[in-house]
Structure 1
Amino acid sequence: MMAITKTNAQILDFTAQLVAQDEEFPMLQVLNNEGKVVDEDGLKRSELTDDDLVKIMKNMVLSRQLDIRSTKLAKQGRFGFFAPTAGQEASQMASAYAFNDEDWIFPGYRDIPEIIAKGWPIWKAILWSRGHQLGNEYTTEDGREVKSWFPQIIIGAQYVEAAGVALGLKKRSKDAVVYVYTGDGGSSQGDFYEGINFASAYKANAVFFVQNNGYAISTPRNLQTAAQHLAAKGWASGIPSIVVDGNDAVAMYLAAKEARAWATAGNGPVLIETMTNRLEPHSTAGDDPLRYRTQGDIDEWWKKEPLIRMRIFLEGKKLWSEEIEAAYIAEVDAEIDTAITTADNVEKQKISDYLKHTLEVPSQVMQEQIAKFESEGK
């Protein structure tokens, strides 16, 4: 490739640099807002079968129903902490579909649906939200391991943790990767850069997602950083970085699939910025999004939410219908009902239980406290 030479004046043209940054990150898109295919080659490259497309849609509907039911339970005081996911179904579920059971997921607290898609029982997810120790047991109903780290509450911390496991997979020559999620707010954390830089330096098996959903709690993305694209932060650590339409399930799957293939081939990590929107509060713990955004803005994003375009696309292929969706929602709701009952019937933790599970080997003082509370039946 012929080197492009620049004059000193061009090198010192800072305005031109800002323009160049903006132009370097076009958005990957296969389905537009109307559910029409705008990139036939991209659809073909994804190699998604009709069965795959239906499974992705079902996973997205599952995520939406979990969001609806979890929000209701939280309002009833029957849930614990919950971070709504409406609007991010393609960003989360379609990307996760590109990974397999041997790949490790490192989720943030908004990424519960992706773990459930790997086989984590819903009742354990409910217990996790309530702070019950069984909620950190990552096994399927039949006892198989679910390769997932716990949903990280510390913003961005999962990036550092994921980098270590990704290096371990590489050193063991595993045909597997770590895939990790955070939001746009997470990309402002020091752990974010430390994680991607470490993984880049050692060419570890990792795929990093930054879900640009518009807001870090109440801080809009444009006030978090002057970077025109969050994907540019990946370039700072020397890894390929792209921007994807996070409401386009096919584009999300394609990007994740290609990134996984790159990482498992020994080339190192990839960073994917997904352009989506958080349509509901940051969490059910008292957040009111109308204090920092307008209802009109929210309404406009609801018109572009990912289930709409995927639904139109699949209906056009005769793979989906209102009847199919209604039947599946009923199936999911029944599963959630059973999970709620199971979670409610699990023995409540006592103070002594919390102390027992704080350290692998309780200190002498903790042992005395455990004995005291046990003697009181607590």
Structure 2
Amino acid sequence: MWPSSQFLDFPGGKVAFTSEMRFISESPKERIPCYRVLDDDGQLIEGGINVGKEIAVKMYSDMATLQTMDTIFYDAQRQGRISFYLTTIGEEAINIASAAALTIDDFVVPQYREPGVLLWRGFTLEQFANQCFSNRGDDCRGRQMPIHYGSKKLNYLTVASTIASQLPHAVGVAYSLKMDGKDACAVTYFGDGGSSEGDFHAALNFAAVTEAPVLFICRNNGWAISTPTSDQFRSDGIVVRGEAYGVRSIRVDGNDTLALYSAVRAAREMAICEQRPILIEAMTYRVGHHSTSDDSTKYRPVDEIELWRSARDPITRFRKWIESNGWWSSEAESELRSNVRKQLLDAIQVAERTEKPPLVDMFTDVYDAVPSNLSEQEKWLRETIKIHPQDYPSDFPL
């Protein structure tokens, strides 16, 4: 036991005194290493990995499906058929591998670049198309921007555009699961740009103090729209912030499907069994533009984009691994891509022809009984449409 004069008996734990004046360094001498299982050629680096054929093939199939879906929907927006779209190109492994490591009982609180989690859980191509075309088949009834998906059935909370606002919500969900004694956790996703928002810091502190079973998965893709990480922070990425808030953390190669699957699976086990938050920083790269409203070649070197597209593509790397196991072939690849493309084009044609939601849906689903102010607004809108019919689509169901 130290004499009482050698430590400060402060609330929260004893702090030792020292006569040496020493400032904590602003940056470590070495950067936090990145957990990796597959090399760039899709070969295991060392040791075994517990992923069987069935789950590995499904992971690859969903990654390829997601890539195909992004390409076709992006083209549809460029053709003026939908108003907005945002791709996950280059980040497919984070979507699918993390989803594979969870269970359907885990609540997902997404940003807007995780449609692959929905795909893994059973959201159909028809449902994706209906949402992007805002028709009667859309669960959100046309009240959300395209790609702002949600599914109560699949425990996938509806996407909000506001950056990082989902993080405190995820902690609240996790704390609720903890109070109810559920064998499940909350999982939330965000980009490196989201870590610059106050909600990120509040959420990590909130989670640590309440010991909430929540996984924070950061897609550190180097760019917050047009702002590089070098202009966002001087710390060693996102992973080091976990320790500051008392949150266990790991840095993972975000383009390594097996590494992500293993890390998220282990993190989920710790979060639930030990009742604690976990922070995962997935190092990746946004190969596509931020959205259809962005041209990333204006602020990023084209050769940098092409390097990540060709040499560091997570789908190509994972395909090499499953092919080396004899689980995939060129024939299976052609069949998959062809089928997905046909299914999606058919779904888009149907979604495009499907009637839009009726006008009344703008005013329902918030209150059990529609209050007088909303009834008045509906009345005013209908009167406005009658006065100015040229400003509204003729086929809009009133």
**TM-score if structure 1 supplies the norm length?**
0.88
Q: 1:139 to 1:271 in 2, by over 3 A?
A: closer
Identity among equivalent pairs (%): 31
**Alignment match, 2:51:** 48
The worse-fitting range, judged by mean Cα deviation, of 331-340 and 315-324 is 331-340
Local SS of the residue matching 1:241? strand
The worse-fitting range, judged by mean Cα deviation, of 184-193 and 366-375 is 366-375
Local SS of the residue matching 2:187? strand
Q: Which amino acid aligns with 1:62?
A: T
**Alignment match, 1:64:** 67
Local SS of the residue matching 1:271? strand
Deviations along 1:97-152, one digit per CA (max 9) or x if unpaired, are 10111111111111122112212233333343455683438898xxx911110122
Q: 1:301 to 1:362 in 2, by over 3 A?
A: same
**Alignment match, 1:32:** 39
Asked whether the equivalents of residues 135 and 355 of structure 2 are also in contact (C-alpha less than 8 Å), the reply is no
Q: Which among 55, 76, 79 is matched to residue 73 of structure 1?
A: 76
Q: Which amino acid aligns with 1:115?
A: L
Q: Which amino acid aligns with 1:319?
A: W
**Alignment match, 2:129:** 126
Q: Distance between the aligned counterparts of 2:87 and 2:191, measured in 1?
A: 13
The worse-fitting range, judged by mean Cα deviation, of 312-321 and 332-341 is 332-341
Local SS of the residue matching 1:338? helix
Offset, 1:374: 4.4
Aligned residue runs from structure 1 range 218-297, under 5 A: 218-285=226-293, 287-297=294-304
2:12 is equivalent to residue 12 of structure 1: no
2:351 is equivalent to residue 348 of structure 1: no
Asked whether the equivalents of residues 133 and 351 of structure 2 are also in contact (C-alpha less than 8 Å), the reply is no
Q: Mind listing any 5+ residue stretches in structure 2 that lack a counterpart?
A: 1-15, 142-148, 387-396
Q: Which amino acid aligns with 1:136?
A: C
Q: Which amino acid aligns with 2:299?
A: Y
2:200 is equivalent to residue 177 of structure 1: no
Q: 1:359 to 1:288 in 2, by over 3 A?
A: farther
Q: Hey, which of these two has a bigger chunk of helix by percent?
A: 1
Q: Distance between the aligned counterparts of 1:68 and 1:8, measured in 2?
A: 62
Q: Which amino acid aligns with 1:12?
A: F
Q: Distance between the aligned counterparts of 1:204 and 1:121, measured in 2?
A: 32
Q: Which amino acid aligns with 1:341?
A: Q
The number of residue pairs the alignment matches comes to 362
Q: Distance between the aligned counterparts of 2:304 and 2:18, measured in 1?
A: 44
Q: Distance between the aligned counterparts of 1:357 and 1:291, measured in 2?
A: 42
Q: Distance between the aligned counterparts of 2:220 and 2:134, measured in 1?
A: 28
Local SS of the residue matching 1:211? strand
Q: Which among 79, 101, 104 is matched to residue 107 of structure 2?
A: 104
Deviations along 1:40-84, one digit per CA (max 9) or x if unpaired, are 1xx43xx21122211111111111111111111111122232111
**Alignment match, 1:136:** 140
Q: 1:136 to 1:236 in 2, by over 3 A?
A: farther
Q: Which amino acid aligns with 1:249?
A: T
The worse-fitting range, judged by mean Cα deviation, of 240-249 and 107-116 is 107-116
Asked whether the equivalents of residues 135 and 351 of structure 2 are also in contact (C-alpha less than 8 Å), the reply is no
Q: Distance between the aligned counterparts of 2:73 and 2:368, measured in 1?
A: 32
2:203 is equivalent to residue 195 of structure 1: yes
2:171 is equivalent to residue 163 of structure 1: yes
Local SS of the residue matching 2:69? helix
Q: Distance between the aligned counterparts of 2:119 and 2:58, measured in 1?
A: 14
Asked whether the equivalents of residues 96 and 117 of structure 2 are also in contact (C-alpha less than 8 Å), the reply is yes
Local SS of the residue matching 1:182? strand
**Alignment match, 2:215:** 207
Q: Distance between the aligned counterparts of 2:345 and 2:154, measured in 1?
A: 22
Q: Distance between the aligned counterparts of 1:115 and 1:239, measured in 2?
A: 27
Q: Distance between the aligned counterparts of 1:10 and 1:83, measured in 2?
A: 51
Q: Which amino acid aligns with 1:19?
A: P
**Alignment match, 1:117:** 120
Q: Mind listing any 5+ residue stretches in structure 1 that lack a counterpart?
A: none
**TM-score if structure 2 supplies the norm length?**
0.84
Q: 1:84 to 1:9 in 2, by over 3 A?
A: farther
**Alignment match, 2:8:** none
Asked whether the equivalents of residues 184 and 221 of structure 1 are also in contact (C-alpha less than 8 Å), the reply is yes
